[in-house]
Structure 1
Amino acid sequence: MNAKTLRASCAIVIAALTLDVMAQGKPIAYPSKGQSAQKQQADDGACYSWAKSNTGIDPATASTAPPPQSGPAVGGGERVGGAARGAAGGAVIGAIAGDAGKGAAIGATAGTMAGGARARQNRREQQANAQAQSQGAMSTYYRAWSACMQGRGYSIQ
């Protein structure tokens, strides 16, 4: 499995888990005034529209964040910066040991690896922030939906 396929698979799994979490978070409406299933479905649709228009949040699109970008231009240049810092440090240490070129090469390799680790950490933080924002938006939407359904005579859990 190549790196692109692995990244795409991970993005799909994360999206599926996010949708599953979102679906589990929806409040349950109980018809406390004897509303029929058809009436409850109609009220649910009306409250969906009302909550969407009052919060500006559409639950159908709130959970579909764009997949994280990848490639050499993504990540703010952590690898290149790491390589440059590593090469500079390696050249200094290599000069002391007697071979600045070899020291710079070793330092650049180590710096590239450290920069890659920083880039991966930054991507994880961005994904966590996006997920937190999505969950916050869904919470706001569901509070509005619940208020609407309660106003129509449903008990919400």
Structure 2
Amino acid sequence: MNATKLRAGCAIVIAVLALDAMAQSKPIAYPAKGQSPQKQQSDDGACYSWAKSNTGIDPATASAAPPPQGGPAVGGGERVGGAARGAAGGAVIGAIAGDAGKGAAIGATAGTMAGGARARQNKRAQESNAQAQSQNAMSTYYRAWAACMQGRGYTIQ
């Protein structure tokens, strides 16, 4: 079951990276009205500024945004919480078996490991959300840039 979840998580990460590469690539502008390379460069710069000011998105900073940080180490509070829950459960089971202290120690170890897994899963979800937000921002910016370039006589692909 864990191997299936791991494979599914890896597939999602690969799909997100592939979509990111497609979403981050700038559309191609063809000079449909015979614009010179200098005119195209000038129009591109003007449309960059226009799209940036109208969307509030700068592609230079949107694609380089750092991933969100979860805390000083992976597992912010999930490991501690898992250890506490595991120790409590282990103490109860250990008391039934005759050694509450040993049961609590085993439970705390298992709880710490479960908390670490939960922390890694939460971190992956945060990174995926940040990636999706970056993709949406770039898509919005490039739609505005394309509208500007089309208005100046370019065919956009």
Q: Which residue of 2 aligns with 1:135?
A: 135
Cα displacement (A) at 1:93:
0.5
Q: Which residue of 1 aligns with 2:107?
A: 107
State the TM-score, normalizing by the size of structure 1: 0.82
Q: Where does structure 2 lack aligned partners over 5 or more consecutive residues?
A: 1-16
State the TM-score, normalizing by the size of structure 2: 0.82
Letter in 1 for 2:106: I
| Cα distance in 1 for residues equivalent to 2:44 and 2:135 | 21
Q: Which residue of 1 aligns with 2:31?
A: 31
| Cα distance in 2 for residues equivalent to 1:24 and 1:137 | 10
Cα displacement (A) at 1:25:
2.6
Cα displacement (A) at 1:23:
7.4
Q: Which residue of 1 aligns with 2:43?
A: 43
Q: For 1:73-126, what per-residue CA distance to the aligned partner results, in whole angstroms no more than 9, with x for missing partners?
A: x64400000000000000000011111000000000000000000111111000
Q: How many residues align?
A: 139
Instruction: Output the aligned Cα RMSD.
Output: 1.9
| Cα distance in 2 for residues equivalent to 1:123 and 1:152 | 44
Cα displacement (A) at 1:64:
1.6
Cα displacement (A) at 1:62:
0.5
Letter in 2 for 1:59: P
Q: Where does structure 1 lack aligned partners over 5 or more consecutive residues?
A: 1-16
SS of the equivalent of 2:120 reads helix
Contact 1:79–1:116 (Cα < 8 Å) also in 2:
yes
SS of the equivalent of 2:34 reads coil
| Cα distance in 2 for residues equivalent to 1:131 and 1:31 | 32
Cα displacement (A) at 1:56:
0.3
Q: For 1:128-154, what per-residue CA distance to the aligned partner results, in whole angstroms no more than 9, with x for missing partners?
A: 000000000000000000000000000
Q: Which residue of 1 aligns with 2:14?
A: none
| Cα distance in 2 for residues equivalent to 1:124 and 1:144 | 31
SS of the equivalent of 1:117 reads helix
Q: Which residue of 2 aligns with 1:83?
A: 83
Decide whether aligned partners of structure 1 residues 24 and 66 sit closer, same or farther in structure 2, where only a CA change above 3 A counts.
closer
Q: For 1:29-82, what per-residue CA distance to the aligned partner results, in whole angstroms no more than 9, with x for missing partners?
A: 00000001111010000000000000000000001222443534x644000000
Q: For 1:1-40, what per-residue CA distance to the aligned partner results, in whole angstroms no more than 9, with x for missing partners?
A: xxxxxxxxxxxxxxxx69x726753111000000011110
Q: Which residue of 2 aligns with 1:119?
A: 119
Letter in 2 for 1:148: C
